[in-house]
Amino acid sequence: MRGAAVLELDHLELVQGPFRLTAHWSAGPGERIAVMGPSGSGKSTLLSAIAGFLPPQSGAVRWQGRDLVGLPPGERPVTILFQDQNLFPHLTIAQNLALGLRPDLRLSPDDRARLEQALARVGLAGLGARRPAQLSGGQASRAALARALLRARPILLLDEPFAALGPALRQEMLDLVDQVARETGALVLLVTHDPGDALALGGRTAFIAEGVVQVPVPTTTLMADPPPALRDYLGRK
């Protein structure tokens, strides 16, 4: 483990009906961690818990030593991108971004300038007045990332937000994530089912098997010699 742990999953136990998931590991500042596992293994559940949508059965989620349990999602040091519905369809792109700065949308001239900058940064300059329905899938993802840039929270949770995009576009998005994370110094947790994404992200990968989120190991090491469960998942003999 590099440096001091900032995100600590301490004997975390999540329960949803008959489903049970445990995790006990930590991550350092600015790390890139891919979360992989078979469909239904609980990848999204883990992110939900970190983001504050699912209170743990037991254990703790700590950030810089402070227990986040009980803190509402919006007050956590977290930005999360869902699989879909990352933008409000009745608001313009600019308004959707502005929500990341000030929920009451009362922007100072300075805020406005930052917003324009963020739009330009993700290649959406001039599209602020559009509504989400007028954007392509890739553009919508960019808009959501631009908001993450504006929010600049130290943890960026990505719950397969680019799953619907083609390979080239997805690569582009991962590059953008990399830049955003670099600029904000964020710790990135990316849920994906594609080992390519995990490798592209760099850093470590936490594999989920049989209700346990394994301690992340460097992705290259993991892929070079996958454990049996991951081997099955990857379809390798």
Binding mask 137-176 for other proteins (x = CB under 8 A): --------------x-------------------------
Picking from 203, 195, 197, the residue whose alpha carbon sits closest to that of residue 230 is: 195
Parallel/antiparallel/unpaired status of strands 58-63 and 32-36 = unpaired
Residue closer to other proteins, measured from CB, 16 or 221: 16
| Whole-angstrom distance, CA of residue 216 vs CA of residue 5 | 13
Considering only residues 73 through 132, tell me which ones interact with other proteins, judged by CB under 8 A.
73-75, 78-80, 82, 84-86, 88-91, 95, 99-100, 103-105, 131-132
| Whole-angstrom distance, CA of residue 141 vs CA of residue 137 | 6
In the three-class reduction of DSSP (H, G, I as helix; E, B as strand; rest coil), residue 104 is classed as coil
Q: At its nearest, how many Å lie between other proteins and the CB of residue 89? A: 4
| Whole-angstrom distance, CA of residue 22 vs CA of residue 46 | 9
Residue closer to other proteins, measured from CB, 75 or 110: 75
Considering only residues 169 through 228, tell me which ones interact with other proteins, judged by CB under 8 A.
none
CB atoms within 10 A of CB 31: 22
Q: At its nearest, how many Å lie between other proteins and the CB of residue 73? A: 4
Residue closer to other proteins, measured from CB, 112 or 131: 131
E-strand ranges in the chain read 7-16, 19-27, 32-36, 58-63, 66-67, 78-81, 155-159, 187-191, 204-209, 212-213, 217-218
When binding is defined by CB under 8 A, the residue of 51, 191, 200, 201 that contacts other proteins is 51
Residue closer to other proteins, measured from CB, 97 or 230: 97
Q: At its nearest, how many Å lie between other proteins and the CB of residue 140? A: 9
| Whole-angstrom distance, CA of residue 217 vs CA of residue 209 | 14
Residue closer to other proteins, measured from CB, 51 or 122: 51
Residue closer to other proteins, measured from CB, 72 or 109: 72
Dmax of the chain from CA atoms? 59
Instruction: Check residue 17 for interaction with other proteins (CB under 8 A).
Output: no
Q: At its nearest, how many Å lie between other proteins and the CB of residue 58? A: 16
Task: Identify whether the C-beta of residue 229 lies closer than 8 Å to the C-beta of residue 207.
Answer: yes
The residues that touch other proteins, with contacts defined as CB under 8 A, are 51-55, 70, 72-75, 78-80, 82, 84-86, 88-91, 95, 99-100, 103-105, 131-133, 151
